Chains A and B, each alone.
Chain A
Amino acid sequence: MSSVRVLVGTRKGAFILTSDGKRDKWEVSGPHFAGWEIYHLKGSPVDPNRIYASQSSGWFGQIIQRSDDGGKTWHQPGTPAGEPAAPGPPKSESNKFTYDTSAEAGKPLTTHQWYDGTQHPWEFKRVWHLEPSLSDAETVYAGVEDAALFRSTDGGKNWHELSGLRGHGTGPKWQPGAGGMCLHTIVLDPSNPERIFIAISAAGAFRTDDGGNSWKPINQGLYSKYLPNPKAEVGHCVHHVAMNPKRPGVLFMQKHWDVMRSDDAGDNWNKISGNLPTDFGFVIDIHAHEPETVYVVPIKSDSEHFPIEGKLQVFRSRSGGNEWEPLTKGLPQKDCYVNVLRDAMAVDSLDECGIYFGTTGGQVYVSSDAGDNWSAIVQNLPAVLSVEVQSLK
């Protein structure tokens, strides 16, 4: 019997929601790490019981947590659960994210653009996104603020920057968006282990074809009115990028404004907003079995981060964009003024594809019929920052 495990990161802890394949009765576990911000947690596709979590606080910094039993127990990598504290050298550097300033990095980068256009030092703040490897449970990528990509190959014990991204040349032109200068999206190509896509607010999308050593901007076709040159190579506020693993050359993007599509692995982008009532938003995702079926949650504007007219609507395109239909059954259609943040939508891979999203109002919604009907799994969590789902056999 198949089942699903939904991993929810919130402003004040993590929650794990589990159900069988029917997805109508749920068990709720949590809060884990109560009181801490959990920007993201995600399971390994190689070993579903291996889950990585980003626990952070403006006061106390960044903690990496790991579970090896599907979220029942957690430990900081290198500090085994239950091991009594003992004198001796610290065993773990799992919380240490140090930007690469070595000579080997070639061009150690020290500043990026600040809000006022001046240059500002790179300062580590938190991990926004953890992306476990598709082939090795011990390998995991971390997208951080200020924007950089780190990788651990020992289960999260030690982290090393893939400095070719910051050092490739455009870094001084990157600037923070309203949420900070964050690397929030990491997409691994299942057909090519050397290819990784990432996205940064506000810099744009980037791709490596050599395992992370060298990178190039892939923003051709993006248009951003807030830039002096709206078609600039970098500076775009990409909110999220999604790929269906069965068709890795096709990418979908929710930009600050504009919903975009690329059919050539990001080399060129085309606008597919079509009949959306607004093309501002944060999330975008793709049906697990229908690569042309795409989901977004339109948000009114960059100033008004809530649905239009207080009606929470998911929009679905079955044609790969341009033609969109609103999905409303089971979603609040009055007085709803929540937001859906960029990492807060996910899809499962059961035969009848399930769609999930979480809101800043603390609701997590599920549709077990590809979006036709929705119900709330939970209604009163802290503000939801991220939603991931594991499809379990």
Chain B
Amino acid sequence: MIRIVLPFHLRTLAQANAEITLEVAGAVTQRSVLDALETQYPMLRGTIRDQGTQQRRPFLRFFACQEDLSHDSPDAPLPEAVASGAEPFLIVGAIAGG
């Protein structure tokens, strides 16, 4: 089980709680986690990654385990603590998020 924390505006858009849990099959990476998130919440497509390029939107950051993972490869394994559900994967808007 993966835990994901969304910023306020995406929470309201997805009509979701602050923290979302979902299952990810196979390797736990940024790409697989976001794919699973967008599958469960299709209204979030395009809000975290550009729908054409799949690049992280420039004013968003990815944090976990007190580290900035924003510039890691989308196919790099996420920390074991995220994969096990011990720590959440944080999607954070730059500064106050608008």
The answer to the question of B38 belonging to the interface, with a C-beta cut-off of 8 Å to chain A, is yes
The answer to the question of B47 belonging to the interface, with a C-beta cut-off of 8 Å to chain A, is yes
Q: Report yes or no: A90 in contact with B39, Cβ–Cβ below 8 A.
A: yes
- A-B contacts counted at CB < 8 A amount to 74
CB nearest to A95 among chain B residues: B46
Known contacts A35-B98, A93-B51, A96-B51; is-contact A76 B57 (Cβ 8 Å): no
Interfacial chain B residues near A36, Cβ < 8 Å: 9, 98
- How many chain A residues touch B (Cβ–Cβ < 8 Å)? 26
The answer to the question of B10 belonging to the interface, with a C-beta cut-off of 8 Å to chain A, is yes
Residue from A35, A89, A92 within 8 A of B9 (CB atoms): A35
Q: CB within 8 Å of B: which of A216-246?
A: none
Q: Report yes or no: A59 in contact with B42, Cβ–Cβ below 8 A.
A: no
The contact string, 1 if C-beta is below 8 Å from chain A, for chain B 1-27, is 000000111101110100000000000
Complex formed: what's the CA distance from A23 to B52 in Å? 45
Known contacts A87-B40, A92-B42; is-contact A60 B9 (Cβ 8 Å): yes
Q: Name, among B13, B42, B48, B97, the residue most crowded by chain A CB atoms within 10 Å (CB to CB).
A: B42
CB nearest to B8 among chain A residues: A35
Q: Report yes or no: B46 in contact with A59, Cβ–Cβ below 8 A.
A: no
Residue from B42, B51, B93 within 8 A of A98 (CB atoms): B51
Q: Report yes or no: A93 in contact with B47, Cβ–Cβ below 8 A.
A: no
Q: Report yes or no: A95 in contact with B98, Cβ–Cβ below 8 A.
A: no
Distance in angstroms from B2 CB to nearest chain A CB is: 14
Q: Report yes or no: A79 in contact with B98, Cβ–Cβ below 8 A.
A: no
Interfacial chain B residues near A59, Cβ < 8 Å: 7, 9, 57, 59-60, 93-94, 97-98
The answer to the question of A88 belonging to the interface, with a C-beta cut-off of 8 Å to chain B, is yes
Complex formed: what's the CA distance from A96 to B51 in Å? 6
Residue from B38, B47, B97 within 8 A of A61 (CB atoms): B47
Mostly, the A contact residues are loop
The answer to the question of A111 belonging to the interface, with a C-beta cut-off of 8 Å to chain B, is no
Complex formed: what's the CA distance from A98 to B51 in Å? 8
Q: Report yes or no: A60 in contact with B52, Cβ–Cβ below 8 A.
A: no
Interfacial chain B residues near A62, Cβ < 8 Å: 46
Interfacial chain B residues near A34, Cβ < 8 Å: 12
Q: Report yes or no: A58 in contact with B59, Cβ–Cβ below 8 A.
A: yes
Q: Report yes or no: A90 in contact with B46, Cβ–Cβ below 8 A.
A: no
Q: Report yes or no: B51 in contact with A89, Cβ–Cβ below 8 A.
A: no
Interfacial chain A residues near B7, Cβ < 8 Å: 59
Known contacts A58-B98, A59-B94, A87-B40; is-contact A93 B9 (Cβ 8 Å): no
Q: CB within 8 Å of B: which of A40-76?
A: 57-63, 76
Complex formed: what's the CA distance from A273 to B26 in Å? 67
Interfacial chain B residues near A35, Cβ < 8 Å: 8-9, 12, 98
Interfacial chain B residues near A57, Cβ < 8 Å: 9, 98
Residue from B9, B12, B38, B60 within 8 A of A90 (CB atoms): B38
Which residues from chain A sit less than 8 Å from chain B, CB to CB?
Answer: 34-36, 57-63, 76, 78-79, 85-93, 95-96, 98, 124
Which residues from chain B sit less than 8 Å from chain A, CB to CB?
Answer: 7-10, 12-14, 16, 38-43, 45-48, 50-52, 57, 59-60, 93-94, 97-98
12 A–B contacts from the bound complex (CB under 8 Å): A59-B94, A63-B13, A76-B43, A79-B42, A85-B16, A85-B41, A86-B40, A87-B40, A90-B38, A92-B45, A96-B45, A98-B51
Q: Told that A57-B98, A79-B43 touch, could you supply 9 new A-B pairs with CB distance under 8 A?
A: A58-B59, A59-B59, A59-B93, A63-B43, A86-B40, A87-B40, A89-B39, A90-B42, A124-B52
